[in-house]
């Protein structure tokens, strides 16, 4: 069964600290993997996209990695800010289609 699983389910960190969120998937064939950020009461917004050949991609303080062999991705947040408090959702796309498989999300809370 094609699935996307994320860990941890929730995370609380202090402002200024770093954290890493994990995404494991079994989707095959794989096209790409996106990380979305969803603020409370808002729709998800794309942070970064990883294709099969990419290992690392940065977007400001967010750095995503992809290991296509082990089917794992991570999202590293550096020097966290209060505004990073949100749900982070990993979404994997089937190759050749536009079917999206959503992860269960990680809820991050950054405390002052």
Binding site for another protein (CB under 8 A): 31-32, 34, 38, 41-46, 49, 87, 89, 91, 93, 98-100, 102, 104-105, 107
Minimum CB separation from another protein for residue 20, in Å? 20
Q: Cα Rg for the chain, rounded, in angstroms?
A: 13
Give the number of C-alpha atoms closer than 13 A to the C-alpha of residue 13, restricted to the C-beta side: 23
Nearer to another protein, 18 or 95 (CB): 95
Nearer to another protein, 75 or 89 (CB): 89
Q: Which residues contact 53 (CB under 8 A, 6 or more apart)?
A: none
Nearer to another protein, 21 or 89 (CB): 89
- In three-state secondary structure terms, 89 is strand
Minimum CB separation from another protein for residue 97, in Å? 9
Nearer to another protein, 80 or 87 (CB): 87
């Amino acid at each position: 069964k094609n699935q996307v699983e994320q860990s941890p389910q929730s995370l609380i960190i202090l402002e200024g600290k770093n954290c890493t969120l994990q995404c494991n998937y079994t989707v095959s064939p794989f096209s790409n993997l996106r990380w979305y950020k969803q603020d409370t009461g808002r729709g998800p917004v794309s942070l970064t996209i990883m294709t099969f050949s990419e290992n690392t991609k940065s977007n400001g303080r967010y750095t995503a990695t992809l290991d296509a062999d082990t089917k794992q991705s991570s999202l590293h947040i550096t020097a966290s800010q209060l505004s990073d408090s949100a749900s982070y959702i990993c979404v994997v796309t089937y190759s050749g289609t536009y079917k999206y498989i959503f992860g269960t999300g990680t809820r991050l809370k950054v405390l002052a």
